[in-house]
Amino acid sequence: MTDIDVLIVGGGISGLSIAWWLAQAGISVEVWEQETRPGGKIQSVKADGYLTEQAASIVMNFRPEVSQFMIASGLEAYKMPRADTTNRYLVHDGQLLSLPMKLMPMIMSPLWSLRGKLRMFTEPFIPKGGHAQETVTEFITRRLGSEVLEKAMGSYITGTLASDPDLANAYAVLPRLTALEQRYGSIALGVLINKVLRRRTAAITEAFSFQGGMKTLIESLAQGIRFRPKHAVTKLEREGNNWRITSTNNRSVLAQQVVLSTPANVAASLVKPLDNQLAKYLAGIKIAPLSVVHLGFPRAAIPHALDGTGFLTPRQEDFAVTGCLWMSSLFSDRAPQGKVLLSTYIGGATQPAAVDWDDERSITAVMEALQSLLGINCDPENVRIDRHYQGLPLYHGNHTGRIAEIAKHLVHLPGLHLEANYREGISVRDRIARAAKVAEQILAYRKL
Q: How far apart are CA 373 and CA 319, in angstroms?
A: 10
**Cβ neighbours for 211, distance < 8 A, ≥ 6 positions apart:** 78, 80, 333
Note the pLDDT tens digit of each residue in 133-161. Answer: 999 999 999 999 999 999 899 999 999 99
Q: b or e along 407-416 (b: 16 or more beta carbons within 10 Å of the residue's beta carbon)?
A: eebbeebebb
Q: How far apart are CA 320 and CA 76, in angstroms?
A: 38
Q: How far apart are CA 363 and CA 344, in angstroms?
A: 10
pLDDT score, position 197: 65
Q: Which whole-number Å values give the CA distances from 312 to 232, 280, 321, in the listed order?
A: 37, 34, 8
User: Could you tell me if residue 146 is left (phi over 0), alpha (psi between -120 and 50 degrees) or otherwise beta?
Assistant: alpha
Amino acid residing at 267: A
pLDDT score, position 448: 59
Note the pLDDT tens digit of each residue in 163-201. Answer: 999 999 999 999 999 999 999 999 988 877 777 665 554
Q: How far apart are CA 297 and CA 285, in angstroms?
A: 38
Amino acid residing at 57: S
- Rounded mean pLDDT of 2-23? 95
Q: How far apart are CA 214 and CA 191, in angstroms?
A: 32
Note the pLDDT tens digit of each residue in 299-311. Answer: 999 999 999 999 9
Alpha-carbon dihedral of residues 15, 20, 26, 27, nearest 10 degrees?
A: 0
Phi, psi of 385 (to 5 degrees): -125, 125
DSSP strands (E only) in 194-307? 206-210, 226-228, 233-239, 242-247, 252-260, 287-298
166 sits in which H/E element: none
Note the pLDDT tens digit of each residue in 225-257. Answer: 899 999 999 999 999 999 999 999 889 999 999
Note the pLDDT tens digit of each residue in 74-116. Answer: 999 999 999 987 789 999 999 999 987 776 777 778 888 999 9
pLDDT at 202 over 50: no
Q: How far apart are CA 94 and CA 92, in angstroms?
A: 5
Taking the CA atoms of 304, 307, 308 and 314 in sequence, report the sign of the dihedral they define: negative
Report H helices in 89-235: 103-107, 114-121, 136-144, 146-148, 154-159, 170-173, 175-184, 187-196, 215-222
Say what the pTM is.
Answer: 0.93
pLDDT score, position 201: 42
pLDDT score, position 375: 96
pLDDT score, position 2: 74
- Rounded mean pLDDT of 376-390? 96
Taking the CA atoms of 318, 327, 361 and 426 in sequence, report the sign of the dihedral they define: negative
pLDDT score, position 87: 86
Q: How far apart are CA 247 and CA 163, in angstroms?
A: 33
* Radius of gyration (C-alpha) of the chain in whole angstroms: 22
Q: What are the structural domains of the chain?
A: 4-41+214-285+395-446 (3.50.50.60), 79-100+203-213+287-393 (3.90.660.20), 102-198 (1.10.3110.10)
Angle separating helix axes 175-184 and 187-196, nearest 10 degrees: 90
DSSP strands (E only) in 366-420? 382-393, 416-418
Q: How far apart are CA 392 and CA 161, in angstroms?
A: 7
pLDDT score, position 191: 79
DSSP 272: T
